[in-house]
Amino acid sequence: MNDRNPSEILRSGKPVHLIGIGGVSMRALAKMLRRQGVNVRGSDRESSIYTLQLDELGIPVAIGHRPDNLRDAALVIRTAAIRDNNPEIQAARAAGIPIISRAEAWGILMRDYPKAVCVAGTHGKTSTTAMIATFTQAAQLDPTVMVGGDLPSIGGTLRIGKSGLFVAEACEYQNSFHAFSPTVAVILNIDRDHLDFFKDTDDIIASFHQFALRTPKEGAVLLNGEDENCRLAAQGLDRRVVTFGFSPNCQVRGENIALKDGFPCCDVTRDGKFYCRMTLSVPGRHNLLNALAAAGVAMELEVPPQQFAEGMAAYKGVGRRFELIRTWRGARVYDDYAHHPNEIEATLKAAKELNPRRVICVFQPHTYSRTVSLLDDFAAALSHADQVLLCPIFAAREANVFGISSQDLACRIPGAEAADDFAQVAARLSQLVQPGDLIFTMGAGDVNKIGRMLED
């Protein structure tokens, strides 16, 4: 056996160490590896309910990053958030232990599946992956699923099925999805984002083009036919391309759109031929577009129309995506992961379709680089709310070398207010709230804590 080959190490029974094991995708990976008999353990910066759950499953988790955590590890798997100066990374390199990314590990596992549906795009990946997971279960395809949010129907972020179908969310950050091996590649949209890594929009488009090329010659690439950047990414592809959308030139098309009890529905056609009438249980035109992508996948998997429609009606959403948290003083409090201007606009427009008295948006900008590069776009998107409260910027992996703050964003939104901390936001909401309001906590950081801080 090649003791430097990650694929062979994963099948050898030798210890594998995951740095940042408490993260969403990493803990799912740990469980998947454990189920396959891999001797897996890991470390994380701090203890959480997730690290405790891993311990209970027999996956040891060391709290804090230290060289001695590696012990006899034969392979190290890291997340994108783990930097080269991490003491465990440095120790692994000094000891000659192979290091691979989380995405590379998922890619290795994916190769064991004859069918792999990988869902990519700047927005909507988690929701669309969850939709596909839901209807493939309804169709009794028994999929293995890896999704970036908590999906109630699979009890979390991972489902291990017994069939040859793998359904996975595919992230473009740091070109992670180039490690995947899709037989069906879905591209929902391509927008300017992650500009701390990508040089410009052309660089992002080129990355998605390379992702599409990961499909085999007999595979398929499903892409948004209304998105110009998606069309540019498809140029020169020698793969079968299927477009979805509402426009007449799209192959998988939504027609006769209507609202039923505030939720969207439409006819789904393929090349003008009726497939099914689809009614969703989640709001918003953006979700209807995501559902058309899911319909394209269903057709590739030869799922009968009725089973697909029933599965889509059963989809109730995923954690932190238009998630109803509570009712408070006669107002509904929702939480949403939206952290890009297009996501924010789509979510706020969907909220308005529920006919609330007012939409109050509590937004936590995510990363300084994104806030700087899209400042005016954020202002335009947030202006769809009736009242905006801004939290301090969530730093994530960055230092504030830009001198940017939430106050810079507040100045561009009429009536917006910037708070110093979550307690100040909660106190202001107590002053503002009225029965019939719809309150959103929004962002990719920890803004969701606010909904549980509100006192009756």
Neighbours of 305 (CB within 10 A): 16
d(CA 417, CA 47): 34
d(CA 170, CA 190): 13
Rounded to 10°, the helix 102-110/24-35 angle is 40
H/E/C letters for each residue in the chain? CCCCCHHHHHCCCCCEEEECCCCHHHHHHHHHHHHCCCCEEEEECCCCHHHHHHHHCCCCEEECCCHHHCCCCCEEEECCCCCCCCHHHHHHHHHCCCEEEHHHHHHHHHCCCCEEEEEECCCCHHHHHHHHHHHHHHCCCCCEEEEEEEEHHHCEEEECCCCCEEEEECCCHHHHHHHCCCCEEEECCCCCCCCCCCCCHHHHHHHHHHHHCCCCCCCEEEEECCCHHHHHHHCCCCCEEEEEECCCCCCEEEEEEEEECCEEEEEEEECCEEEEEEECCCCCHHHHHHHHHHHHHHHHCCCCHHHHHHHHHHCCCCCCCCEEEEEECCEEEEEECCCCHHHHHHHHHHHHCCCCCCEEEEECCECHHHHHHCHHHHHHHHCCCCEEEECCCECCCCCCCCCCCHHHHHCCCCCCEECCCHHHHHHHHHHHCCCCCEEEEECCCCHHHHHHCCCC
Q: Which of 51, 79, 125, 136 is catalytic?
A: 125
Q: Which of 169, 300, 323, 345 is catalytic?
A: 169
Q: Which of 122, 126, 136, 215 is catalytic?
A: 126
∠ CA 79-81-82, rounded to 5°: 75
- Is 126 catalytic? The answer is yes
- Is 14 catalytic? The answer is no
- Is 398 catalytic? The answer is no
The answer to whether the beta carbons of residues 132 and 80 sit under 8 Å apart is: no
Enumerate the β-bridge partners of residue 222: 186, 242
Show which residues are catalytic: 125-126, 169
